[in-house]
Structure 1
Amino acid sequence: MMPQDLPGLDLGALQGFMDRAAPGVLDGPLTGEVITGGKSNLTYIVTDGAAQVVVRRPPLGHVLATAHDMGREHRVMDALADTAVPVPRMLAYCTDDAVLGAPFYVMQKVAGTPYRYADELARLGPERVRSIADNLVDTLVALHEVEPAAVGLGDFGRPEGFLERQVRRWKKQMDQSHSREITGEQQLHEELAAAIPGSPQPTIVHGDFRLDNALVDEADQIAAVLDWEMATVGDPLTDIALMLVYQHLATVVPESVSNASEAPGYPDRGAVIERYSRESGRDVSDLGFHEALAYYKLAAILEGIYYRYTHGQTVGEGFDNLGSATAPLIASGLAALRQQ
């Protein structure tokens, strides 16, 4: 692909920056391709014909830096570099908008597969599928074992009142997207607000931990955990709960991003919880609340997308079906609270 064909990435400007910030990593001339785009952070693979790197920057035209904070992603992965948590090696970080029009970072390209769909996993056989899922849980345990202050992340979040803020945040998001009555939404919010449990010792929280945000190597190990834009320091149970909700999502929302957990051999909810609890030594008796909160969070996100779609602010295919997903997510959240 020719340099001028890359939206949001001036390869000449990138080369000049890398010559100054990380000399010898890329010798040029450079070529590249976009591997994720749209409304998410833009991610590119760039090569000089020998070395390959990954460049990540905010979406084009986006002005709310807090929603696509490149510095936050770079900082947490750089901090985890010498821990048991597999992350790509950070190569350079640029805060100067004059280079690419927005902050960006450059990282090592890690070999691996982001398994997203059940048929991709099913080809591996049940034993390998179980091994991959177990390794994913163990990677989350490893993340939650890292002492934030020990890796320079002691000020990375505000753990006090974390769950209360989460409940308020997603209620605010839901209210901002209000265009219709959603059965059970007010009830779920009220029950969440009234049932906030105490949190365990705060840990680094990924914020969007799931199989398709990880790269799996040929030995079925987790080679790298990606997409840290929602990372913070807070309640670790929000990570395992969201992972479980994503695991269940394909049965609630058929149009969900991933249905990998439906592959033969993938452990069920009980097995995932048992492994996480055993390996972490953490009490999971309040997990029903955290799962309910995760359902509410996803319902708020999808309702926001639906609202923008119905107001002509989102263009593309598949958005028209998302509106039917909110009520089942709310119902699943209420059910999760009942099973505590």
Structure 2
Amino acid sequence: MSDVLPDESRIAAEIERLKAEFTKTRELYREVCALLFFRFGITPTANRLYQLVKRGSMSTPTQVLGEFWTELREKSRVRIDHPDLPADLQAAAGELVATLWTRSTASAQAALDALRTETEGEKVAARDAVASLRAELGRTETALEQRTSALLAAQVRIRDLEQAQAAGEATRQALETEITRQQDEIGARDRALVQARGDFSDELEKLRGATELTEERLRATEKLTLLEIDRERTSSARIQQELEAATRRVEQGEIRHRQEIQALQAQLGDARHHAGVVEGNLEALRSSNVIYATELDALKLQLANTAASQSAAQKRSRHSVETRKRGRVTPKVPVQKRWA
């Protein structure tokens, strides 16, 4: 037999061929023994056979190997007992086969014991590894369940925060729209108040002008009347009739002037009544302006509370939502100065 080890790939290829040809385990082991011993010059052992074939239990290659050596020894004895061989060659051949058989059996038994010890150690290590893997698997499954529960809770919380944020955004937009409308109404009322104030001032100036003109006329008339009375008194000695006529004219003038004064006083009363009505409307506008200012303050407070709630919700939400909300600034509503 050659002392050079054969190529492992060739041995593996031949064994694969034998596996396809021999389906029975014992026959396959017997053919592998013959392949190693006769073709590749390798003394087969139970451990080696099991590593190459990997079928059955460890007792199968041991039994097959024993049968192989028994069959080989019997065949060798037949050849040894051949009558053509000399006696010394027969003895030498018998001794050689016996020695080979003893060494092979001892080597096979030692390999079998080593393989059993190694198999037991691997079995114990495998059991420990399986128990460790099972414990690790249990811990992993528990952690996975906890993380899954936490993830679901976080998703629910995120959805709630998104809904609360959407509701807060809708409320803020509604409040901003309402504030804009209130500001427009207050501006319109302020403009109407300024217009009414201007109209009242113009009307008051007109009434004052008319009153002054009437008073001037009255004073002029009184002066003329006094002059007439003085002239009539100086000329009473001359003409009594002219005095009486003048007196009648003066009386008629006084009546006319009194009527004019009464008419002017009535006009002045109407003007004062109109001024009172305008003042009442102005006071009503002031009261309405105070009410609107109060409502505006309440809306500002509600908007501030909504913005605070939204800010608190944003702090607990995702970072992208918090960044977007910090970029927004709640517009400050200018307070219209009420006219006093």
| TM-score, normalising length: structure 2 | 0.24
| TM-score, normalising length: structure 1 | 0.24
Structure label with greater radius of gyration? 2
